[in-house]
Chain A
Amino acid sequence: MTALVVIDFDASGIKQPARSAIAAATKLGGEVHGLVIGSGVGAIAEAAAKIPGLSKVLVADAPGYAHELAEPVAALLVALAPGYSHILQAATAAGKNALPRAAALLDVQVISDISGVVDADTFVRPIYAGNALATVKSADAKKVLTVRASSFDPVPAEGGSAAIEAVSVAPVEGKSKYLGSELSKSERPELTAAKIIISGGRGMQNGENFTKLLDPIADKLGAAVGASRAAVDAGFVPNDYQVGQTGKIVAPELYIAVGISGAIQHLAGMKDSKVIVAINKDEDAPIFQVADYGLVGDLFNILPELEKA
């Protein structure tokens, strides 16, 4: 039994969710290999080799693997699949895009966003926006899984010494072509890896208030800034700030919800946070039912006070 974990990375290096996926893979009880897919990814492969828990790092390095297009990535996973009992990746946008495609090509049902490993065939996953936890047992010979990063403590980044091996498979020519990206620039920690998150909702009223009121507090706390769907739809902040069932799933040490009512879909993305603070002027807002500390009042008075404190 050997598991293959696809490593998520970006320009700044290996992403924390990749190390959570490795943590999930180690719970299966077998050997764990990492897979780095991309173009010019030698440094990433070397960093991956240092992750404890990996006994081998495979590197698929070719221009055709740039931009993580689903077609070549899925074809590569299918080519490597005979050597593995489990194929995993964090439930990032890239993982959710490519792994179901690979699973279908292998004629297996993908198991998305697992939050627990019971045994090599049985997994726990949240359904209905996290309002129920399903334990499912797979009858498929091979398991293809995406991993809810916030449910597994990431393995350390350093301390291992895995062997690096180049993959000889040539990328398939797909019918899709990468045209370009528009990435949000931020100096702050990444939302899914941040220890503290401060999120704004519709109550923030506009994007300037995010910059004026939330950013200084985030900087002071070393926190990431998130948002509810209402704030994203209203155009206050870009959509990759969104926390919730359809946005990012986070579980920081501290989550501060400001001007967020607490709809089911938002709670789905943050209710596993260790400590939740709600700041809202409506004392009946559902967010107070999950908040450890609630402060009823006008955020426009409270936030400046918080910044000074």
Chain B
Amino acid sequence: MARVLVGVKRVIDYAVKVRVKPDKTGVVTEGVKHAMNPFDEIAVEEAVKMKEKKLASEVIAVSIGPTQSQEIIRTALAMGADRGLHVEVSGKDYELLQPVHVSKILAKLALDEKADLVILGKQAIDDDSNQTAQMTAAVLDWPQGTFCNKIEKTDSGLTITREIDGGLETIKTKTPAVLSADLRLNTPRYATLPNIMKAKKKPLKKVTPKDLGIDTTPRIDVISVEDPPVRQAGAVVADVDALIAKLKDGGHI
């Protein structure tokens, strides 16, 4: 039976309209509602389902970030993960922490914890990088199953259906492997109150990148973070004829 490591990231809640800081160094995060990255909820759900189907023996939830990341780990524990690992990185270091660093941390933890599968979300909705799973697989030299729509355990490994531009494709990978969850892999469950209470008692260990021997020196300088150009408000037309006239004016017909 497999041991599964799941990566969960604390991000600004998807429904929040983010605001760029006036000094253009980033977006405002203080006092803003945060939540688990939606793709990571799907990753946790998949891992917990594997455990329920007796395909996985243990699910370990990992989050890298400031102290508040522990809340996200608790959410994963309430969803059914067995124990948590918090890799503490805060302040400026966290602002400049990138998938290149995260993948090395996750790879180290995957080996330390003797994981057979690492399941991550396909992308975090804050930096929109879509890199960590691929990079973790590369660091470990494991196969990658990205943008998973369906994951099936076979005798020799995994059969994975992936979402690609023109439709779907199926690949087979050996295990151990790193997988990234796409939107339609599953529907994440809600954590029930009794499970939230139980999650408070589950073990949560804290480490630092230094403990793991991972260098988190920034690989980029942020030059600026700015608002996107604002579109000019358009006109609401009265009827279909007026709409067609506008399209003609614009040279679209």
Q: Tell me whether A and B are bound partners.
A: no
Chain A residues packing against B (C-beta within 8 Å):
none
